[in-house]
Amino acid sequence: MASTHSLSTLFGLARLHWRAGFRKQFRRMRTPSGCIFGIIGGGLIASWMGALMFSTGHGGAELKGLMGPAIDPLLQVFLVQCFLTAFAVLSLFSAFNSKGLYLPKGEVHALLSAPISSADLVRYRLLVDAGKTVVSSMVFVALFWGRLPKPGYGVFGLLLALFTITILSRAASLALGNTNLWLGRFFQGRSLGRAGFMIGALAWGGMIFFMVQSDVVMFGLDMDIQERIRSFAANPLVGLLAAPARPFAELVLAKTASGFLLWLAVDVGILALVFELCARSAGEIREATMATSEALAKRLGAISKGHSGVSALGRLKRGDARLRRVPRVFGRGKIGTIAWAQLVGVTRFSLGTFLLCFAVVGFLVMLTVDKDLAGDLGPPDKEMAISTAIIVVLGTMYLGTSMRFDFRTSLTRMESLKSWPLSASRLFFATVLPQALIMTLLLLAGVLSRLALTGVYEPVLLKFLALIPAFVYAWVSLDNAVFLFFPVKFIPGQDGAVHHMGRSILLLLLRVILLTSFGVVLAGTLFLLSLLTDFMGMGAELVENLGFWLVLFGILVAGALFSRLGGLALSHYDVSKSVS
């Protein structure tokens, strides 16, 4: 790590990196489905950004709208300063997750062993980051476009500010990973652990407190809003914290060409200074870089396997207290064996996801119990039916997306799965069964908790309890069948977002069409039944009971059909095709 390289050489390397990223995007367009997904996704993103850019009334902190066109220019600058400072603080927090320098899996060994100094390595990565910042800051540009005095000037301010924040975050990561420094040595091999959790909790608590306070400060009715912000800005500590963002806020809000050029020169100077200081302060970061790159690669790998959120953060190791034997609750046959293996994964590695889902179901229960939130839902039986339906339908939708204990985590093992001696339909059923069971248990717990909290029981509840497992299984099997027809390993924040959005919209449409078709058939049958029973002079209770059995039967048929569809998708699944 000795020789130095000119900035143009490093820029050339970074350009190769950017070009590869774009090429990968365009290559996704070579297949008909890729082309359709890309066009739909691109169209959606463009229309969303267009709507952001050219709409005027979004409320909130709108610079020109909320407080009227006559808002004090100094306050405008202060608001932008606040936004940039908050963004910088959040970015600095993320530095603890990436001590040293994060290098992608394909670069880490090549770059660390290459004859390139640490400073040049940092410069190269910062240049790569610059490209990424341009892409990611497009959202902020769109968000601010219609609110800036001169959008053409303001865009430069936003880009330079966001890139500077990215560099500052990198600098913090480098300091934390630099074993030449006391800070780096202190954090070597250490994570923030409980202390980090406490800091994070305090930060969140502080933010919530600030939001509540700002609600009073900014939107209080007894005092002029601008006056309140002015008094807030007058606080010396606030002024000190927000001061570094001032030059960038001035550029964002520049109105004249001379002002723009002046602040552009100042900001470019700051950026260059921060860039160079960051590169030169790199120090001995190889160990931290290796650790960070490996940890992040592992996490990205877990996410690409379908693990989401907290479940991708940490994995159990041998000897862990939770690594205990899981009973064969589904029997010892082929289906039971596969379902058991799925259940093992849930119990060992998904406590975080599980607790989060439990909390969401709890929230839904509270939503239906709280009279202020739920409103008047009519007589007790109707209230119970509607409340239970809310818990079950919304709960199923959320849990179905968050819990991925099915084919969405099995893509890397499809070669093994397909060689097993059992039919595709049975394999499909066995794989989705534990997911459906766990979701059912969570929802049942929610519905029964509501019963315990309200103390009101209506016979209609029993019917709902019978419908829950069938409904959940039909939902999960449809989700998995659609996924197997159009499988994808997508990592949020990585490439392929445009295609993923197009694909998601199309798949959502497909699900809606399938569910609606089924609902229409079921509703039509119920309508015919009611006509028939009217005609035959049958009582309302009998009709209601018949209707319930018909709905249950219908959902069971739907579940069976979706399972067949899933089996078909599984047998057509081609392991030789890439699904990234």
Partner 1 sequence: METNSSLLKVSGLSRAYGTVQAVDGLSFEVQPGEILGLVGPNGAGKTTSLRTIAGVLPIQSGEIQVVGRDLVEDPIGAKSLLAWVPDEPQPDENLTVLEHLEFTAGIYGIGDWGETAHELLARFDLTAKADALGGELSRGMRQKLAFAQAWLTRPRVLLMDEPLSGLDPLGIRAAKAEILQMAAEGAAIVLSSHLLKLIEELADRLLILDAGRAVFTGTLEEARASDLADSGGSLEEIFLAATGARPVED
Q: Which residues bind partner 1 (CB under 8 A)?
A: 315-319, 323, 332-334, 336-338, 340-341, 344-345, 348-349, 412-413, 415-416, 418-423, 571-572, 574-576
Q: At closest approach, how far in Å is the CB of 396 from partner 1? A: 24
Return left, alpha or beta for 316; rule: phi > 0 is left, psi -120 to 50 is alpha, else beta: beta
Closest CA to 389 of 452, 471, 453, 476: 471
Minimum CB–partner distance for residue 476 and partner 1 (Å): 19
For residues 31 and 477, give the distance between their C-alpha atoms in angstroms, rounded to a whole number.
Answer: 27
Residue closer to partner 1 by CB (options 318, 371) is: 318
Backbone angles phi, psi at 422, to 5 degrees: -155, 155
What is the distance between the alpha carbons of residues 75 and 71, in angstroms, rounded to a whole number? 7
Is the Cβ of residue 417 or residue 444 nearer to partner 1 in the bound state? 417
Contacts 24+ apart (CB under 8 A), 187-192: 187/99, 188/287, 188/288, 189/291, 191/96, 192/96
Rounded least distance, CB 419 to partner 1, Å: 4
Nearer to partner 1, 59 or 421 (CB): 421
Spatial distance between the Cα atoms of 121 and 116, rounded to a whole number of angstroms: 7
238 vs 335 by CB, closer to partner 1? 335
Where would I find the H helices in 188-285? 193-219, 225-233, 236-242, 246-252, 257-280
Rounded to a whole number of angstroms, the minimum distance from the CB of residue 316 to partner 1 is: 7
Task: Please report how close the Cβ of residue 390 comes to partner 1 at its closest, in angstroms.
Answer: 33
Complex with partner 1: residue 361 or 438, whichever CB lies closer? 438
Which residue in the block uniquely carries the two structure tokens 């119920």? 526
Closer residue to partner 1 in complex, CB, 370/574: 574
Q: Which is nearer to partner 1, 349 or 483 (CB)?
A: 349
Class of residue 258 by CB neighbours under 10 A (exposed 0-12, middle 13-18, buried 19+): exposed
CB of 334 to partner 1, least distance (A): 6
What's the closest the beta carbon of residue 572 comes to partner 1, in angstroms? 7
Q: In the bound complex, what is the minimum distance in angstroms from residue 440's beta carbon to partner 1?
A: 21
Q: Which is closer to partner 1, CB of 130 or CB of 432?
A: 432
**Token pair for 376:** 């008047």
Residues whose CB falls within 8 Å of the CB of residue 380, separated by 6 or more in sequence, listed in order: 456, 458
Question: What is the distance, to the nearest Å, from the Cα of residue 20 to the centroid of all Cα atoms in its chain?
Answer: 25
> Could you tell me the smallest distance in angstroms from the CB atom of residue 575 to partner 1?
6
Report DSSP state, residue 147: T
From the CB of 102, what's the least distance to partner 1, in Å? 22
- Half-sphere exposure of residue 495, counting CA atoms within 13 Å on the CB side? 15
Residues 213, 193: Cα–Cα separation, whole Å: 30
Contact assessment for residue 28 and residue 580, using Cβ atoms and an 8 Å cutoff? no
Comparing CB distances to partner 1, the nearer of 344 and 579 is: 344
Rounded-to-integer distance, Cα 276 and Cα 164, Å = 11
Q: For residues 115 and 327, which CB has a smaller minimum distance to partner 1 in the complex?
A: 327
Under a CB-based contact definition with an 8 Å cutoff, are residues 160 and 84 in contact? Answer: no
Helices (H) and strands (E) in the chain, counts: 23, 0
User: How many other β-carbons are positioned within 10 Å of the β-carbon of residue 437?
Assistant: 21
